[in-house]
Amino acid sequence: MINLIPPVARKKVLREYWIRVVSVWFILVSIGFILITLLKLPVYVLVHSQLAAFSASYEAAASEDEQFTQLAEEIKTANETASILQISPSHHIFSEVIDKLDALANESVAVSEISIRITKDDTTVVTVAGEAATRIALARYKDSIEADEMFLTAELPLSNLAKDVEIPFTISVTLTNPSES
C-alpha cells in the first residue's frame, strides 16, 4: 500500500511516522523517569529524616564527648594540683623552721636574714645570717641549733670567729629529713 502513495506524500507519512515514534518513546521515557522519581521520593524523605535525627543525636554526642574531654582535663589538672598541695613528708614546713631558728637565738644574737633552699639531692639547707654580741654567744647559738632534733648540722666558718665582739655571722644549717624522724 505504501507503494501506491505518491513519493511526496510518502515522505510526509514517513516523517510523521518517525515523529510519532520519537514522541511515543519520549513520553514513555518521561513516564519512566516520573515513576522512578515517585518511587524514590519516599526513600529520599525517609533517609533525609533519619539523617536529620542522627545528625541531632551526633551533635549531642559530640557535645557530650567534648564536655567529657574538658572535664577529664580539669580532673587531671585538679589531681596534679592536689598532689602538689599535698603536704610532703620529705620537707619541713618553712615557717616552723624560721620560728625555731628565731626561738633558739638568745638576746645576744640578732638574726637578720634566713634563706632556705632545697638542693638537687632533696636536702634542705638553711642559711642564717646576723650579728652576735660575743664569740661565746655565737658558739652557744650554733650548739643550740645542732642540739635541736629538727637540724642535722650547723656549720659556722672560722672566719666568723675572727672578731671578739659584734660578730657578723653566717651559719649553714642542714635540716633533718622529717620522714626519718
Q: Among 37, 60, 84, identify where a domain stops.
A: 84
| C-beta neighbour count of 32 within 10 angstroms | 10
Q: What is the pLDDT of residues 13-49, one digit of tens each?
A: 899 999 999 999 999 999 999 999 999 999 999 999 9
Residue 168's DSSP bridge partners are: 131
The pLDDT tens digits for 83-137 are 766 655 556 678 888 888 888 888 889 889 988 887 777 677 889 999 998 888 8
Final residue before a domain boundary, out of 84, 110, 129: 84
Which pLDDT score is estimated for 46?
93
pLDDT at 87: 54
Residue 148 lies in a domain: yes
Same domain for 65 and 125, yes or no, is: no
pLDDT at 97: 83
- 151 CB-near residues (< 8 Å, 6+ apart): 145, 173, 174, 175, 176
Domain extent for 52 = 2-84
- Is the entire prediction scored with pTM above 0.75? no
Asked, for residue 180, whether it belongs to a domain, the answer is: no
CA diameter of the chain: 154
CB neighbour list of residue 169: distance below 8 Å, 6 or more residues apart: 128, 129, 130, 131, 132, 138, 156, 160
Pair 67, 121 in one domain: no
pLDDT of residue 166: 87
Establish if 181 belongs to a structural domain: no
Last residue of a domain, one of 84, 115, 145: 84
Report yes or no on 147 lying in a domain: yes
Q: Per-residue confidence at 149, pLDDT binned at 50, 70, 90?
A: confident
